Structure 1
Amino acid sequence: MSDFRAIADRVEIEALRGEFTDAVMLRDYDRIALLFTPDGAWRMPNIPVELEGREPIRAWGRRVPDFVDFLVQNTHPGVIRIDGDTASGRAYVSEVGRGRDGRGGLNYAI
């Protein structure tokens, strides 16, 4: 892979982080699900929740308004590993919000 291709891949992956946060803020869980590969996983170890595949991600989103009053999310860079045509990575998420039960604050990795 050329250096240019590796740089372009990293830029595209970084753009996914922005798309993810934008979709979460808009509570557009159909869009969030489409940001993951069909076998992709969304892991939130502090809750703890692990969602594998697009439909479980959509289903989670449909339940969010039942237990989250509001949130503001920021996604922070983590690692990106590129191996040929395959990539994996991790980002860190900070959320300030309030649950319907009155609790506030969430942090997790995706």
Structure 2
Amino acid sequence: MTDTSMQALADRIEIEALRAEITDAVMMRDFDRVAALFTPDGTMRWPHIGKEFVGREAILTGITWGQGLWEFFVQTVHPGFLQLDGDTASGRAYIHEFGRLKDGTSHLNFAVYHDHYERTPDGWRFSERVYEVRYVDSTPLPGTAH
């Protein structure tokens, strides 16, 4: 294997670890860690509700606000496309989420994250994450949260 292909393999592994870490941070409600996984001027966009958060402080505020709406929330993320381009990359991840909001409504969806990544001195970080909802079901969930 060449040095170039070894670097590409290492980059892919690091980006997949980044995607896994942000999912874990959201599920564990560690919103400071979520924000730290973005570049300082990174952007998180939720077009389905007209929200955009630019910069780590705004991302922290946005994710804290958004997750604060939920009684309980479960997200599973499945790896998708990844394209490397030197010190930047782009990709998609596929999401299945469900939960119940504090207002009593339920939510089950399938969505896609459209991501841009940037290599930084601290490792790969999100420079942009855009959340695209593809399917929503608001049928009341019969279960309970523990």
What TM-score, normalized to structure 1?
0.84
Counterpart CA distance in 2 for 1:102 and 1:48 is: 22
SS of 1:39's equivalent in the other structure is strand
Q: How far, CA to CA, are the matches of 2:83 and 2:54 in structure 1?
A: 20
Q: Which amino acid aligns with 1:95?
A: E
Match of residue 94, structure 1, among 93, 96, 101:
96
The runs of at least 4 consecutive aligned structure 1 residues that moved more than 4 Å come to none
The residue aligned with 2:5 is: 3
User: For residue 83 of structure 2, what is the aligned residue in structure 1?
Assistant: 81
What is the Cα deviation at residue 70 of structure 1? 0.8
Query: What is the CA deviation profile of residues 52-85 of structure 1, one whole-angstrom value per residue up to 9, with x for unaligned ones?
Result: 2211111113323541111011112232221111
SS state at 1:43 partner: strand
- Specify the SS of the correspondent of 1:102: coil
Aligned to 2:30: 28
User: For 1:47, which of 27, 46, 49 is the aligned residue?
Assistant: 49
| Aligned CA distance change for structure 1 residues 85 and 12 (closer, same or farther; 3 Å) | same
**What percentage of aligned pairs have identical amino acids?**
51
Return the alpha-carbon distance in structure 1 between the equivalents of residues 80 and 50 of structure 2: 20
More off after superposition, 56-65 vs 20-29 = 56-65
One-letter amino acid of the counterpart of residue 62, structure 1: T
Q: Secondary structure at the match of 1:81?
A: strand
Which entry has the higher C-alpha Rg, 1 or 2?
Answer: 2
**Which region of structure 1 is more displaced relative to structure 2, 40-49 or 73-82?**
40-49
Instruction: Answer whether contact 1:40 1:54 (CA < 8 A) is retained.
Output: yes
RMSD of aligned alpha carbons: 1.9
TM-score by length of 2: 0.66
Structure 1 unaligned segments of length 5 or more: list them: none
SS of residue matched to 1:19: helix
| Count, aligned residues | 110
SS of the residue 2:40 aligns to: coil
How big is the shift at 1:39?
2.1
Contact in 2 for aligned 1:27/1:61 (Cα 8 Å)? no
